[in-house]
Amino acid sequence: MDEMIDLFRRNISQEVLDLVPSSVAHENRMVPIEFDGNCNTLVVAMVDPNDFDTVEKLRFITNKNIEPKMATATAMDFAIQRYYPFPDNLFRDFQ
C-alpha cells in the first residue's frame, strides 16, 4: 500500500493551494500538497488515489502531471475545511 499522507501535520503553501480552485477540491475531495515545477507535477492527497477519472480531471483543469497520494477520509475532510473553507461558488447566488 502507498504511504498515507498525514494532512493533520502538513502545512501546505498558498502557492500550491492556488493551483486548484476551491470548488474542485470540494467536489473531488482532494487537496494539492506539493508542486514540482521541474517536471510540472502536482502531488495531490485523495481518499482514493486510484480514482482515474478524478486524476484525469485534475490533469485537465491544472494542465499539470498529477501524482495522487492516499489520505484518510477524516484527514481529507479536515484539510479541505482548513485550506478551502468556502467553495468558490458559495456566494454566487447572492450577487
pLDDT, tens digit (0-9, with 9 covering 90-100), for 68-82: 999 999 999 999 999
pLDDT bracket for residue 90 (50, 70, 90) = low
User: Which CATH number is 59's domain given?
Assistant: 3.30.300.160
Residue 34 within any structural domain of the chain: yes
Helices H / strands E in the chain, number of each:
4, 3
What distance lies between CA 37 and its chain's CA centroid?
17
Give a yes or no: residue 2 inside a domain: no
Smallest CA-to-CA distance from 28 within 65, 3, 56, 67 is with: 56
Neighbours of 77 (CB within 10 A): 14
In this predicted model, what pLDDT tens digit does every residue of 35-71 receive, in sequence order?
A: 999 999 999 999 999 999 999 999 999 999 999 999 9
Q: Any idea which residue has 498525514 for its cell?
A: 6
Which residues constitute the domain of residue 63?
14-84
